[in-house]
Structure 1
Amino acid sequence: MANTARLKPVSRRSLLRWGLAATATGTVLSGCSAGAASPAGETKVVRYQGWSGDVLYPELAADLGLLGDLRLEWIGNTTSGPQDIQATVTGDIDIGGAFNGAIVRLIAAGAPIRAVVGYYGADADTLAGYYALEGSPIRGPRDFIGKKVGVNTLGAHHEDVLAIYLEQGGLSEEEIRSVQLVVVPPVSAEQALRSGQLDVSVLSDIRREKAIARGGIQPVFTDFDLLGAFTAGCYVLREEFIAANPTTTRTLVAGVARAVHWAQTRPREEVAARFTEIIRRRGRNEDTSSVPYWRSTGVAGPGGRIADREFGTWLERSVKDGRVPPGRLDVARLYTNEFNPF
């Protein structure tokens, strides 16, 4: 495998410094984990965190019979992408996913992980919009100065996309810092906007569609308007896991890639129906009402194949804002398509 040089182990202090410490502790497991490779051979159990009311591509891959003799072990739900990949770093889980910019910063902090396949992004059907109330004076970049913007988590997709939008609009770093980011759970984002607690709120997926249907809001811009179609987030594995479990890694990543490709190429209604059945069968007492609003994977590359641009954009931004020292990383260190059949 190319470029397998190890970085020094990441410390909790480093994670806190880079703003990526876990926001929940419920997933911490004992040091003797089920996912660790045994002396007798490679692990066949892959631990992961889920999302309530959503189907992850490893789960779809298992349902489609694409994981061979591997078994997934769900250990609970995550609270955010940054938390999910930190849990991967600490060994609490084996595979996690997050926004590519968060992956960049965690690797820069010393985390020995590698992105292996893309799983979400933006296209004409699936996007994140930055919405203001109808009649709001916020129409362009300079109108954001001093305003409150609701995002789902800090150090992730919505924050970095906004920074690029403001930078391209000519704002100085000081003016960009004047924009107040407020962490708001996605389920509360629309109400916080309508009640005047926020000047702009980021809305995506079903919540964006429902908010638009209710009227009274207007988009200032979307991530798709700004950057075109792109894969925004990837699943990562620890380099230690890859080295100890090369066959398992290949089976897992290939299965996930084929599941992404299946969702990319099947009719939307078929994908949504499959997701609904998976959620119902797994018995976690979840609401499936949002699944019919699924529009697309948003993944740009076939089967989640990763392109340089999908990390280069965020690496450049992280260097500009001082969160990654110049020269610390190159794009080739951040991801690999080695295990992806596409």
Structure 2
Amino acid sequence: MSPTAPAARRLSSPASRRAFLTLVGLSAAAVGCGRATATGGSGQQTKKLRYQGTVGQVTLAELAEDLGYFGDVKLEWVGNTISGPQDIQSAATGQTDFGGAFNGAVVKLIASKAPVKAVISYYGVDKDSYSGYYVRADSPIRSAADLGSAKVGMNTLGAHSEAMLDIYLKRSGLSPARADKVQPLVVPPVNTEQSLRQRQIEVGVLGGILREKALATGGIRPLFSDYELIGAFSAGTYVMTERFLKQNPDTARTFVTGVAKAIEWARTTPREQVIARMTEIIGRRGRNEDASVLKYWRSYGVAETGGRIDDREFSLWTEWLEERGDLPKGRVDVRSVYTNEFNDYGKKQGS
């Protein structure tokens, strides 16, 4: 799931803008909905964290729980999501206790006065974990100049994939008028490869396991990747509401520190062992998923030790949104967006 949701150029149409605001433009009143308190009014901190998963994948939270890093805190799966903005909306409105999204989408949510905090990075971009923008091997598209009105399939609008597309078009020197002709479209990740091969789209955004599987099949080639554009960086964070953090500080600390430990476990453990552990997790949870694609997993891509958050992981996208005119200048103070308070792993590392 993927830096910020560029609601900018791509969301210029009323329909697109309304759809994006439905995902991340929540009012404070909307955030007040959901369960009244995380503690159920008993004064005792919750030991159960509701969350959304991803089909055929093991999230860092799920890995941390399986490794025993959460102690007596347990996860409660309430369904799956394919959209970061939708996932953090669910957390903000109290339907879940945490959610994760691209950092730009987090900025947008907080700019809309949603009282949430980013607490730890959970995915990023590196040489092994990146989103590639692929075309068919026989495609005439070789550069941004060849895109014309090409359809670009991605998991959701106004998030990581669209931001990278915008940056690519701008850096390639395309005028706003030419860039506006490129058409980002929502295509579920599990369908992107098929849609590309069947010529329903000209470019498909593929990452992680799905990218490796498609490359192994052959017949496609890269146009560019987010790693080529930006380099290594943490791209998305888990968020929790400020109310949850206030009412459940120990549980939050257990969760965040456990995820941090899982990040480092996955970073330092041989890849084959990580994949074996993930395969066992999928098999035990019984969601009727295909675990065979896990053999293509390479990295979670989190840049900082223990997933600790730095200003630059939000300032890049805040400034970009301001430049695009989608966010009023000065609306968001990046230091108010996140906290490392609950990450004991990072503190123990002296960072």
**1:81 correspondence with 2:90:** no
User: How far apart, in 2, do the equivalents of 1:99 and 1:265 lie?
Assistant: 24
State how 1:180-329 maps to structure 2 within 5 Å: 180-329=183-332
Deviation of 1:309 after TM superposition, in Å, equals: 2.1
User: How far apart, in 2, do the equivalents of 1:125 and 1:333 lie?
Assistant: 31
Q: Residues 78 and 84 of structure 1 are in contact (CA less than 8 Å); yes or no, is this contact kept in structure 2?
A: yes
Letter aligned with residue 74 of structure 2: R
Deviation of 1:116 after TM superposition, in Å, equals: 0.7
**1:137 correspondence with 2:140:** yes
Higher helix share: 2
Equivalenced residues, count: 321
Residues 290 and 93 of structure 1: CA distance in aligned 2, closer, same or farther (over 3 Å): same
Q: Residues 38 and 45 of structure 2 are in contact (CA less than 8 Å); yes or no, is this contact kept in structure 1?
A: no
Please report the RMSD computed on the Cα atoms of aligned residues, expressed in angstroms. 2.0
Deviation of 1:177 after TM superposition, in Å, equals: 2.2
Residues 109 and 287 of structure 1: CA distance in aligned 2, closer, same or farther (over 3 Å): same
Moved more, 40-49 or 121-130: 40-49
Q: Residues 115 and 234 of structure 1 are in contact (CA less than 8 Å); yes or no, is this contact kept in structure 2?
A: yes
Deviation of 1:136 after TM superposition, in Å, equals: 2.7
Residue 20 of structure 2 corresponds to: 19
Residues 175 and 36 of structure 1: CA distance in aligned 2, closer, same or farther (over 3 Å): farther
Q: Deviations over 1:209-261 (max 9, x none)?
A: 23223332221111111111111111100011111111111111111111111
Deviation of 1:207 after TM superposition, in Å, equals: 2.4
Residue 3 of structure 1 corresponds to: none
Q: Residues 134 and 204 of structure 2 are in contact (CA less than 8 Å); yes or no, is this contact kept in structure 1?
A: yes
After the TM superposition, list the runs of 4 or more consecutive aligned residues in structure 1 that deviate by more than 3 angstroms. Answer: 30-37
Residues 79 and 209 of structure 1: CA distance in aligned 2, closer, same or farther (over 3 Å): closer
Q: Deviations over 1:97-133 (max 9, x none)?
A: 1111111111111111111111111111111111112
Residue 103 of structure 1 corresponds to: 106
2:182 to 179, 183, 188: 179
**Ranges in structure 1 where 5+ consecutive residues have no aligned partner:** 1-15, 24-29
Q: Residues 85 and 105 of structure 2 are in contact (CA less than 8 Å); yes or no, is this contact kept in structure 1?
A: yes
Q: Residues 48 and 72 of structure 1 are in contact (CA less than 8 Å); yes or no, is this contact kept in structure 2?
A: yes
Deviation of 1:32 after TM superposition, in Å, equals: 4.2
Residues 296 and 176 of structure 1: CA distance in aligned 2, closer, same or farther (over 3 Å): same
Q: Residues 39 and 248 of structure 2 are in contact (CA less than 8 Å); yes or no, is this contact kept in structure 1?
A: no
Letter aligned with residue 250 of structure 1: R
Letter aligned with residue 219 of structure 1: P
User: How far apart, in 2, do the equivalents of 1:338 and 1:124 lie?
Assistant: 29
Q: Residues 96 and 237 of structure 1 are in contact (CA less than 8 Å); yes or no, is this contact kept in structure 2?
A: yes
User: How far apart, in 2, do the equivalents of 1:145 and 1:114 lie?
Assistant: 40
Q: Residues 22 and 87 of structure 1 are in contact (CA less than 8 Å); yes or no, is this contact kept in structure 2?
A: no
User: How far apart, in 2, do the equivalents of 1:75 and 1:196 lie?
Assistant: 35
SS of residue matched to 2:287: coil
Q: Deviations over 1:196-218 (max 9, x none)?
A: 22121111223222322333222
Residue 5 of structure 2 corresponds to: none
Letter aligned with residue 126 of structure 2: D
TM-score, structure 1 normalization = 0.88
User: How far apart, in 2, do the equivalents of 1:130 and 1:277 lie?
Assistant: 31
Residues 34 and 284 of structure 1: CA distance in aligned 2, closer, same or farther (over 3 Å): farther
Q: Residues 132 and 217 of structure 1 are in contact (CA less than 8 Å); yes or no, is this contact kept in structure 2?
A: yes
User: How far apart, in 1, do the equivalents of 2:165 and 2:280 lie?
Assistant: 36
